[in-house]
Amino acid sequence: MVTKTFLLCSLLAIFFLFASTSSAHLKSLTVELIHRDSPHSPLYNPHHTVYDRLNAAFFRSISRSRRFTSTKTDLQSGLVSNGGEYFMSISIGTPPSKVLAIADTGSDLTWIQCKPCQQCYKQNSPLFDKNKSSTYKTASCDSKSCQALSEHEEGCDASRDICKYRYSYGDESFTRGEVATETISIDSSSGSPVSFPGTAFGCGYNNGGTFEETGSGIIGLGGGPLSLVSQLGSSIGKKFSYCLSHTSSTTNGTSVINLGTNSIPSKPSDDSATLTTPLVVKDPDTYYFLTLEAITVGKTKLPYTGGGYSLNAKSKKTTGNIIIDSGTTLTLLDSGFYDAFGAAVEKSVTGAKRVRDPQGVLTHCYKSGDKEIGLPEITMHFTNADVKLSPINAFVKLSEDMVCMSIIPTTEVAIYGNLVQMDFLVGYDLKTKTVSFQRMDCAGNL
């Protein structure tokens, strides 16, 4: 499975701008995200340079990308445990206890560390104590939430009829515990938290590996039935979106995730059209698959030849050939296609010569002398959606005179990472099975 490297492991400092619990669906529930490398993040290290943080995120992306290559019978084995770029804050139990965990669009089951712990990694906040919550209830072995686990993940304590879960991660980290239901609450700016009773989650009693002390676990935002967004489906109209501020704005800017029927604009503004592409449903349903048909570099359009995982019998066109993931920093494209793509980029860059990335991660870097570097416009042609990237989406500045493309080759699954999604409102409509893109200044519109 994939380690989300550069989608920016961030802290989700949650507060909700507006929520309506009186109607059938929440109108809008907005959660503020703080990037892990932001000065507002507990993980922020003032001694690290911008380039130190970028390089660390790039390496996390490479690790995370391996996660998406796992098989259906071993969904979690490729996971890198600390691969998320954002944290999310929620409250759990009655009375509520605050929890800060990695927000992961590539995971389903939400799990946190719980008392009594057989083995737990060190975390800064107190462990969740189920005995102090009046709404905690274990899930039975034949419950719907237990059956939603894969065969490899599921276990059962038959003597007590309690469903068990077990995840093993690619970096030898692990979590094991019991599946339960609880009341999950999200703070509202109106002063009243919005509560979702009976939400399934994992109460982890045996956890270890490379998890960071800041987080209590993982909040699953994937497409499977156990993810938080899937469980909240009817109450949020099966819609959510996020708007990620560009890394150049992380000092003052923030990012958000929006839940609810108003999270995706129904009438886009005239100067910023909403582009919509089909969401391809396939195994594993945790991941959000899109179809990339071509990429244009300047005036050169290149049909995308990357492999997919299913074939449309009528059009003979590969569908669902790329995963959109907010937890991976870089974008990864099929290596067979990448040679022609990279050559087109190199031909279009002006005022600079191609050089090697000192860290050996990025493949196309350009260094200028005393000239300004001219970068080509790159357009990603998804089915029915031509998404034009700005230079700061497709390229990252590694020094005052060097830029590198944020898109690299892979021999595994293709991933549409978070750098190319920044300053777009990216909307997911799980009812109509679509993903939308609307260009937006995320820092200026929050």
Question: Is the pLDDT at 46 greater than 90, yes or no?
Answer: no
Which residue would you say has higher pLDDT here, 96 or 4?
96
Output the pLDDT for position 35.
Answer: 53
Task: Give me the pLDDT at residue 4, please.
Answer: 40
Phi, psi of 168 (to 5 degrees): -120, 130
Overall size of the chain counted in residues: 446
Percent helix, percent strand, percent coil in the chain, to nearest 5: 10, 35, 50
What pTM, to 2 d.p., does this model score? 0.83
- The reply to whether 289-324+331-416 shares the fold of 29-258 is yes
Interior angle at CA 245, CA 421 and CA 44, nearest 5: 115
Q: What is the mean pLDDT of residues 120-126?
A: 90
Helix (H, G, I), strand (E, B) or coil at 384: coil
Q: Which CATH class is domain 289-324+331-416?
A: mainly beta
> CB under 8 Å to 20, separation ≥6 — which residues?
26, 27, 28
| CA atoms in the 13 A half-sphere facing the CB of 200 | 23
- Please report the pLDDT score of residue 262 as a whole number: 83
User: Residue 63 has which token pair?
Assistant: 């690790």
* CATH number of 29-258, picked from 2.30.40.10, 3.40.50.970, 2.40.70.10, 3.30.565.10: 2.40.70.10
* pLDDT at res. 39: 54
What confidence score (pLDDT) does residue 203 get?
97
Q: CA 303, CA 173: separation in Å to the nearest integer?
A: 39
C-alpha 67/C-alpha 106 separation (Å) is: 9
pLDDT score for 137: 98
Which of 183-192, 232-241, 319-328 bottoms out in mean pLDDT, i.e. has the lowest? 183-192
> Which string of DSSP letters, residue by residue, matches 114-171?
EESPSB----SSPPEEGGG-TT-EEPPTTSHHHHTS-TTTEEEETTTTEEEEEEE-TT
pLDDT band at 69 (very low <50, low <70, confident <90, very high): low
> In the structure, what pLDDT confidence band is assigned to residue 423 with cuts at 50, 70 and 90?
very high
pLDDT tens profile 370-405 = 788 999 999 999 999 999 999 999 998 888 888 999
| Position with higher pLDDT, 172 vs 331 | 331
The pLDDT score that the predictor gives to residue 247 is: 62
Mean pLDDT value across residues 234-253: 75
Q: What is the mean pLDDT of residues 267-282?
A: 77
Tens-place pLDDT, residues 145-201: 999 998 888 999 999 999 999 987 656 778 999 999 999 998 754 556 789 999 999
- Contact (Cβ atoms closer than 8 angstroms) between residue 12 and residue 40: no
Quote the pLDDT of residue 14: 33
What's the whole-number mean pLDDT along residues 24-43? 63
* 3-class DSSP state of 393: helix
For the chain, percent of residues with pLDDT exceeding 90: 47
Among 251, 277, 311, residue whose Cα is nearest residue 436: 277
Q: How many C-beta atoms lie closer than 10 Å to residue 1's C-beta?
A: 26
For residue 270, pLDDT beyond 80: no
Active site residues: 104, 325
Q: Exposed (0-12), middle (13-18) or buried (19+): which is 99, by Cβ within 10 Å?
A: buried
The answer, yes or no, to whether residue 271 has pLDDT greater than 60, is no
Looking at every residue in the chain, the average pLDDT score rounds to 80
Residue 105: the pLDDT is 85
pLDDT of residue 260: 87
Q: Determine phi and psi for 285, rounding to 5 degrees.
A: -75, -5
Domain boundaries, the chain: 29-258, 289-324+331-416
Judged by DSSP in three states, 228 sits in: helix
Q: Kindly give, in sequence order, each residue whose CB lies less than 8 Å from that of residue 314, ignoring residues fewer than 6 positions away.
A: none
Place of tokens 């750098």: 419
Amino acid at 273: A
Would you place residue 43 in the very low, low, confident or very high pLDDT band (cuts 50, 70, 90)? low
DSSP letters spanning 43-69 = T--TTS-HHHHHHHHHHHHHHHHGGGG
Residue 308 has pLDDT above 70, yes or no: no
| Three-class DSSP labels, 300-358 | EEEECCCCCCEEECCCCEEECCEEECCCCCCEEEEHHHHHHHHHHHHHHCECCEEECCC
- Looking at per-residue pLDDT, the higher value among 36 and 211 belongs to 211
φ, ψ for residue 51, nearest 5 deg: -75, -30
The sheet carrying 289-290 orders its strands as 289-290, 322-324, 415-416, 331-334, 407-410
